[in-house]
Amino acid sequence: MTDELYMQRCLELASLGMGNVSPNPMVGCVIVSEGKIIGEGYHEKIGEAHAEVNAVKAVFDKYGAESAALLLKNATAYVSLEPCAHFGKTPPCADLLIRHQLKRVVIGNRDPFEAVDGKGIEKLKNAGIEVSSGILEKESSWLNRRFFTRILQKRPYIILKWARTANGFFAPVGDEQRWISRPLAKRLVHKWRTEEDAVLVGKRTALVDNPQLNAREWPGRNPIRLLIDRNLEIPSEHYLYNNEAKTIIFNEIKTDVVDNIHFVQMEDMQYYLPQKIAFQLYLMDIQSVIIDGGAQLLNQFITAGLWDEARVFTSAVSWADGMLSPQINGMITEVQQIGKDQLSIYQNKR
């Protein structure tokens, strides 16, 4: 139970990196000596120090060089993901733990990334460090589900999101703009945008709603905005063309970069569009995406089975008519009340 308690703290720390470390995984590290936590750290930002580096630094900052060196030689490091064994933007964390002669390392998940994938564990063991792995493995996997999806399935983690009325309508029949969910749900959606790499809409949604697709109602960074506009019909005066965030427009006309607007030409977008989009995003190191409509686009991803999670708001309001909401066959894992709206979270059964 002691190992699990310290690993739970690692996961709490790791989650603080949400939205700031992609396409890296979220990682937390806790260093314990004689039953006392002497240092903690997490991966705070892409390109910057990893969790183990920050935790070791915390020990030195607190105890000074001489005492820290002695404490680390008798310490156990808890890390939510296998320490890296390769030179990337930073040196290998496995080497750092070996250099400070830690007695034991406890790991949540083995890292499936090809340059690591057991090599960090092997390095530690070869250096005479005791290694335990698979502690809170399920919880660690869930925290880094975006990272694992990108590495193992060669695509981003795909979240579908929409709102429906109490009687199952998704949008008006015409081009009228009508809100279904309430302001509290909108704030939650903006929070989600700070946590994921990108948000995707289709042409009709962009034309009718003129969405900003930013996180203006929640502190944090804006996601990359993605638009499907085969014939480049969205006027440049629309919000998606402003300079608030990087915008990628998938189209059949051109490939070009104009300031923050990236045009990406694709062929035959009427065929296998979800698969093509998913692969393009993988190549761009986009690790997670929210599909935010419209109904046709959502249904394409549902039909292709190309989704991991669906977040569906159901309003207390009913309409006399409208466009029917997408239907999804998934496992409901969570239901909660968000003000006057009900939020249901589905996971793909596969």
Looking at domain 1-149, its CATH class is alpha beta
Tokens of 311: 């977040």
Q: What is the 3-state secondary structure (H, E, C) of 43-70?
A: CCCCCCCCHHHHHHHHHHHHHCHHHHHH
> Is the pLDDT assigned to residue 88 strictly greater than 90?
no
Q: What is the mean pLDDT of the chain?
A: 95
Report which secondary-structure segment, H or E, holds 205.
helix 203-209
> Is the pLDDT assigned to residue 315 strictly greater than 80?
yes
- Which of the residue ranges 105-119, 210-224, 268-282 would you say has the lowest mean pLDDT? 105-119
> Is the pLDDT assigned to residue 325 strictly greater than 90?
yes
Domains of the chain by residue range: 1-149, 154-348
Tokens of 183: 């302001």
> Is the pLDDT assigned to residue 146 strictly greater than 90?
yes
**205 annotated ligand-binding residue:** yes
**10 annotated ligand-binding residue:** no
At 1 the pLDDT is 67
**69 annotated ligand-binding residue:** no
List, by residue number, the catalytic residues: 52
Of all residues in the chain, the percent with pLDDT exceeding 70 is: 98
Q: What's the pLDDT tens digit per position in 287-303?
A: 999 999 889 999 999 99
Q: What is the C-alpha separation between 282 and 253, in angstroms, rounded?
A: 22
pTM summary value:
0.94
Domain 154-348: give its CATH code: 3.40.430.10
Cα torsion at 139, 141, 143, 149 (round to 10°)?
A: -160
Q: What's the pLDDT tens digit per position in 71-85?
A: 999 999 999 999 988
- Which of the residue ranges 177-186, 216-225, 328-337 would you say has the lowest mean pLDDT? 177-186
At 114 the pLDDT is 82
> Is the pLDDT assigned to residue 174 strictly greater than 80?
no
